[in-house]
Chain A
Amino acid sequence: MEKRVYINMNLCTSCRSCAAACAAGHQGQGHLKHGSVQEKATVPLHCRHCDEPLCLNVCPQEAIKKDDNGTIVRMRNLCIGCKSCIMSCPFGVMLPYSTWHTSPKCDLCADRLAEGKEPRCVATCTSGALVFEELATIEKKYKRAVEGGRYFVRFMLNR
């Protein structure tokens, strides 16, 4: 099982450092959306990198592919910006580029993964809310999270 980004809802302070780091690492265009919780807090919404990704299925250009470690990546040179993937995403975590007519998505910072580092959002998290782990490790390390659902919101609900 591959590593994915999980969020500990008990720790996120809505500081948006993850969004800023994401933007800094992707030519100024962030790939992270934020959603509000009871109008009081906002938390980052990451791509789940689904097992059966609808965005991949609907892409008319086959610009979205699943790579060797299960990461769903978008081929920038193939994307025509039709926004089909944005409409099909059940979690609403894809968003259009503000300047180019393409639809970017989280690539788990492939450049950093190649260097053996964690994604930018996780590395910069000021409260330690974001973790980059395998599901099995999360289940083992944070037992209460899995038993009572108290600690973690699992981003990969349909994995």
Chain B
Amino acid sequence: MKELKANCSLCSLACPLVLRGGERSPIFTGESLLSVDYDKSAGSKFGGSVCARGNAVAEFLTHPRRVNYPFIIGERSTIAAAVRETAKSLSDVKKEFGNDSIGVLLGENLTIEEAGMAVAFARDVLGTGNIALFAPDDAPLFRAYLSRDLSAIKPAGAKPAGDRVVSLIIGDSFSEHPCTAKDVLPGKYGTRGSEVIVVSPETSRTAWFANRHLRCKPGGESAVAAGLLKAAAEKTGSALVPDLKKLVDGLGWADIERAGGVSKDALAAAAASMLGAVKVTVYLSNIFGRIGAPALAFSFAEALTNLCPGERKFVPQFVQQNTWGIYSVLAAAGPDGCLKKLASTELRAIIALGLDLFSVFPAAPIEKAMREKRFTATTQFFWNQTADRANVVIPAASLMEKRGTVAPAFGEELVREEFMPPIAGAVTAETFLSMLAKEMGADLAAPAKPARKTSRAPGADGMAAEWAAYAAAQKELDAAGTVLIPWSESVHAGDGSLSRNFYWSQITCPVATLFVPEELAAKLKVKRGDRVEVSTAGAEIVLPVEITKKLPAGAVGATIHFPAVRKLFPWKLERDGEIVLGPVPVKLSRQSEK
């Protein structure tokens, strides 16, 4: 039996695994992944844990519902015919509407080399600059990283004495990246006075463990991070970079309390706790657009970490493993307006590599674009809504089935070894693009080392304008009365089309549900199981109710890993096509009332 030490491919933590493979006949021919084990060897990251997602790696690769054949308009076909059809349709669209009517959308399941190849394909073969990464939850963090280098902020004073350890978690890391728990909890229980500080509106799985839960308003995380930074800067008298100093000094405590919902005293106490700790780790997790203004939260949290005089570490966690790698390749290639063109239905042909547009964040613009486009080719693992609407569907190979480089964290690169060749007809994006280029009369090879933009611009440019927009959005939420926030069970695998196919998600979260706090349920006169009409600016759907004690009075949560629920969260495009997500105002009514 073949055995390989590898890293999990399903999120940015890249937990170490031991994979075992062999023959799995008669279901699959050739070598297949048979089991996933947990790498318990000395020094193994997180002590060799693997979350529910990681456990599904084997289930995922050999899942009976995986797309195994190419399809042309829903009919089973061959790779050669599918490539021929794609090349012909793209040429037709180019001829009729011009080069810029074609867009290439990249999902997270590509290596850095494949992302480089996709850029070359768009530029050299299609003759367009329309190429974009579709990762709305991660992209703002990457933008904040590249556009604001805050390393000039130095620790305030000497390293404190003692052995207190403090972890600050913004978001719900234990749901989204459960292996973080092994990093955080030993600190909490290890020494007297150690603390876990959690910033979230709901009593999430992470907040359950908090010594200090800064229970903010929905979307108030950035204001809380700003408050912590302001309190730390005031206490220590430390210098921030000029733009940031101007913003933080100009923010009144009343502004921060209004936007964040956490009092000045609570923020000052939490900041003092961090400044007095011998070791501080700050985690930030923004899955499904949970955090209001995540780019702001990122920069405030990074500045706060840099101010702490003890040993310090800032750990932004990303939804998918290689979104940063792909983003940096596209950033090096220059700006594009692909998502804006997609939203304004200017794109007549779309190539979507390894992503389900409707599972990632469906919204009216995507629906409209998919209705009005002339041609779509996509690579997919499972049959989903994007596959339903595509002209050509190519079976995709996962990161476990290809060789290449990924960048799970800032400043980190990981070479992935192919554990096994793509199973049952699946092809890598590299193979698909090179075949397509050849069919279109060009010769294309994956660049050995694609250019990446990793250098950061010094200063804190643009934060003041972002804060103004954020404060206005928070004011709007205040006026709304009831706010809908994304609710994630620890079952998702990023892309909803993956997670809904797994055994464990069928058990833990089989149906889309609306979580309602007790007070609001009493006001609405609804009980568990009642069906409620949920209406936002994005959509209107009916969901069964579950009563919960976890949410604050003015907020309701909907299980975000269902595409129908994601429609409730409308998004808008800003800043070079960046998608803005976050909690939204909502109206609720009992279905029987209608």
Interface residue ranges, B against A (CB under 8 Å)? 35-38, 40, 46-52, 54-56, 58-59, 174-175, 178-179, 181-182, 185-186, 189, 203, 205-206, 208-209, 490-491, 502-504, 507-508, 548-550
A10 to B179, CA, bound (A): 16
Query: Are B208 and A41 within 8 A (Cβ)?
Result: yes
Query: Are B548 and A20 within 8 A (Cβ)?
Result: no
The one of A14, A41, A126 in contact with B182, judged by C-beta atoms closer than 8 angstroms, is A126
| Residue A102 interfacial (CB < 8 Å) | no
Residue numbers in B under 8 Å from A54 (CB-CB): none
Query: Are A11 and B490 within 8 A (Cβ)?
Result: no
A41 to B205, CA, bound (A): 7
A14 to B206, CA, bound (A): 10
Residue numbers in A under 8 Å from B491 (CB-CB): 16
Residue numbers in A under 8 Å from B46 (CB-CB): 126
Task: Give 17 pairs: A residue, B residue, CB < 8 Å, sorted on A.
Answer: A10-B189, A13-B205, A14-B205, A14-B490, A15-B51, A16-B508, A20-B56, A24-B36, A30-B503, A39-B548, A124-B38, A124-B50, A127-B178, A127-B182, A128-B49, A128-B181, A128-B186
Query: Are A13 and B209 within 8 A (Cβ)?
Result: yes
Query: Are A17 and B36 within 8 A (Cβ)?
Result: no
Query: Are A23 and B504 within 8 A (Cβ)?
Result: yes
A89 to B87, CA, bound (A): 63
Query: Are A15 and B175 within 8 A (Cβ)?
Result: yes
Query: Are A21 and B55 within 8 A (Cβ)?
Result: yes
Most buried by A among B48, B503, B549: B503
| Residue A59 interfacial (CB < 8 Å) | no
Residue numbers in B under 8 Å from A128 (CB-CB): 47, 49, 181-182, 185-186
Nearest opposing residue in chain B for A124, CB measure: B50
Most buried by A among B186, B206, B504: B504
A125-150: which residues lie under 8 A (CB-CB) from chain B?
A: 125-128
Query: Are B174 and A30 within 8 A (Cβ)?
Result: no
Nearest opposing residue in chain A for B203, CB measure: A40
A13 to B185, CA, bound (A): 10
Residue numbers in A under 8 Å from B59 (CB-CB): 24, 28
The one of B37, B189, B205, B503 in contact with A23, judged by C-beta atoms closer than 8 angstroms, is B503
A28 to B63, CA, bound (A): 11
Asked if A11 meets B185 with Cβ closer than 8 Å, knowing A16-B504, A40-B549, the reply is yes
A41 to B508, CA, bound (A): 13
The secondary structure that dominates the B interface is helix
Total interface residues on A, using CB and 8 Å?
A: 25
18 further A-B contacts with Cβ under 8 Å, apart from A17-B49, A39-B549, are A11-B181, A13-B208, A14-B205, A17-B54, A19-B507, A20-B502, A23-B55, A24-B56, A24-B59, A30-B503, A40-B208, A41-B208, A123-B48, A127-B178, A127-B185, A128-B49, A128-B185, A128-B186
Asked if A17 meets B55 with Cβ closer than 8 Å, knowing A40-B549, A126-B49, the reply is yes
Residue numbers in A under 8 Å from B206 (CB-CB): 13
Query: Are A15 and B178 within 8 A (Cβ)?
Result: yes
Asked if A13 meets B181 with Cβ closer than 8 Å, knowing A30-B504, A125-B49, the reply is yes
In the complex, the 4 A-B pairs of residues with the closest C-beta atoms, listed nearest first: A127-B181, A15-B178, A20-B52, A20-B55
A109 to B51, CA, bound (A): 18
A99 to B36, CA, bound (A): 24
Nearest opposing residue in chain B for A15, CB measure: B178
Query: Are A24 and B55 within 8 A (Cβ)?
Result: yes
Asked if A17 meets B205 with Cβ closer than 8 Å, knowing A24-B56, A30-B507, A127-B178, the reply is no
Residue numbers in B under 8 Å from A20 (CB-CB): 51-52, 55-56, 502-504
Residue numbers in A under 8 Å from B189 (CB-CB): 10
The one of A13, A19, A21, A28 in contact with B174, judged by C-beta atoms closer than 8 angstroms, is A13
Q: How many A-B residue pairs have CB under 8 A?
A: 102
Residue numbers in B under 8 Å from A127 (CB-CB): 49, 174, 178, 181-182, 185
A128 to B50, CA, bound (A): 11
Nearest CB of chain B from residue A122's CB, rounded to whole Å: 10
A128 to B51, CA, bound (A): 12
Nearest CB of chain B from residue A8's CB, rounded to whole Å: 9
A61-110: which residues lie under 8 A (CB-CB) from chain B?
A: none
A1-57: which residues lie under 8 A (CB-CB) from chain B?
A: 10-11, 13-17, 19-21, 23-25, 28, 30, 38-41
Query: Are A126 and B503 within 8 A (Cβ)?
Result: no
Nearest opposing residue in chain A for B209, CB measure: A13
Nearest opposing residue in chain B for A123, CB measure: B38
A10 to B189, CA, bound (A): 9
A142 to B51, CA, bound (A): 25
Most buried by B among A11, A125, A128: A125
Query: Are B50 and A17 within 8 A (Cβ)?
Result: yes
Residue numbers in A under 8 Å from B490 (CB-CB): 14-16
Nearest CB of chain B from residue A150's CB, rounded to whole Å: 11
Query: Are A17 and B178 within 8 A (Cβ)?
Result: yes
Nearest opposing residue in chain B for A127, CB measure: B181
Nearest CB of chain B from residue A140's CB, rounded to whole Å: 18
Query: Are A123 and B548 within 8 A (Cβ)?
Result: no
Nearest opposing residue in chain A for B177, CB measure: A126
Residue numbers in A under 8 Å from B203 (CB-CB): 40
Query: Are A124 and B507 within 8 A (Cβ)?
Result: no
Query: Are A126 and B181 within 8 A (Cβ)?
Result: yes
A128 to B189, CA, bound (A): 12
A40 to B208, CA, bound (A): 8
Nearest CB of chain A from residue B35's CB, rounded to whole Å: 8
A14 to B208, CA, bound (A): 10
Nearest CB of chain A from residue B382's CB, rounded to whole Å: 17
Asked if A13 meets B504 with Cβ closer than 8 Å, knowing A24-B56, A123-B48, the reply is no
Nearest opposing residue in chain B for A125, CB measure: B49
Residue numbers in B under 8 Å from A13 (CB-CB): 174, 178, 181, 205-206, 208-209
A9 to B50, CA, bound (A): 19
A41 to B54, CA, bound (A): 22
Nearest opposing residue in chain B for A151, CB measure: B189
Query: Are A15 and B48 within 8 A (Cβ)?
Result: no
A13 to B175, CA, bound (A): 8
Residue numbers in B under 8 Å from A124 (CB-CB): 38, 49-51, 54-55
A125 to B15, CA, bound (A): 13
Query: Are A15 and B50 within 8 A (Cβ)?
Result: no
A13 to B46, CA, bound (A): 15
Query: Are A19 and B550 within 8 A (Cβ)?
Result: no
Query: Are A15 and B52 within 8 A (Cβ)?
Result: yes
Query: Are A17 and B48 within 8 A (Cβ)?
Result: no
Residue numbers in B under 8 Å from A15 (CB-CB): 51-52, 174-175, 178, 181, 205, 490
A108 to B122, CA, bound (A): 53
A130 to B182, CA, bound (A): 12
